[in-house]
Structure 1
Amino acid sequence: MSSTARLDTAEHIAAQALAEWGLPSSTDDAAGNSWLVIGLPQSADTSPSVGVPHVVLYVFDPFGDQDEVMVSRAPTGPLDHWCAVAVDSKGVQRPLITRPIPQLGDCVEAIADWLTSPQG
């Protein structure tokens, strides 16, 4: 997590919940969007190496601007949802789980289950 993350941002909220499960996360961004990258610890670096299965987590409003994916802002309302995308060792992305903001625990559990399951 970025050392400058505000306590109310999705980044901070999710990173805390993930850390409770022993799952390190790091922030990544591009083209005005931001997300958390979650993987099992590989080394002192918390970011998964290329070719290592990982999950990307972000907040979005499925009924609003679906081009915006963000963890650097606070979840703003009842329409915001967490979205987790699993990325396999070949870089193939698949939806993992999407839940309303109050159900972050469901997302963290699904992420932990996917990361600790054998990837075929």
Structure 2
Amino acid sequence: MSRPPFETAEHIARQALATWGLSVHAETDEGADDSWLVISLPQRADALLSEGVPHVVLYVFDPFSDEDEVMVDRAPAGPSDHWCAVSVDGRGVQRPLFARPVAQLTGCVDAIADWLTSPQA
């Protein structure tokens, strides 16, 4: 099923994550024109308000572009766009989780769900 061209990466990801019952929080850095999604553990609305909450940061990135754009507020534009995720543990240590072509969103959501359901340090 093809998606309308105006559908943002955020909307697409929210729908896919919702199939696992996962809620997300959108973040932006206005100065850098970046946007991303945060999927926290535990899955509570107030979880992001406290320090030391393990979470996954999800965004779209084009590794072949000259621009350093991290975003979810536009539609994935082309075949070189990738879903990227970074896991952040309770101490704030970041680790790459995956970088996959945008057509592989289902595998990305599965990887996020696996990370969220695995014991975290």
TM-score by length of 2: 0.86
The change in CA–CA distance for 1:80 and 1:117 in structure 2 (over 3 A counts) is: same
Paired residue for 2:7? 8
Unpaired runs of 5+ in structure 1? Answer: 1-5
SS of 2:15's equivalent?
Answer: helix
Question: Displaced runs of 4+ in structure 1, greater than 6 A?
Answer: none
Bigger Cα Rg: 2
Q: 1:44 to 1:61 in 2, by over 3 A?
A: closer
Paired residues for 1:97-108 under 5 Å: 97-108=98-109
Distance 1:108 1:82 in 2: 10
TM-score, length basis structure 1: 0.87
Look up the match of 1:62. 63
- Secondary structure, aligned partner of 2:75: coil
Structure 2: gaps (5+ residues): none
- Native 8 Å contact 1:27 1:34 kept in 2: yes
Q: Please give the per-residue CA displacement for 1:48-99, whole angstroms capped at 9, x wherever unaligned.
A: 6321110000001011135210000000000000001000001111000111
Aligned pair in 2 of structure 1 residues 15, 32: CA closer, same or farther (>3 Å)? same
Taking only aligned residues, the RMSD between alpha carbons, in angstroms, comes to 1.9
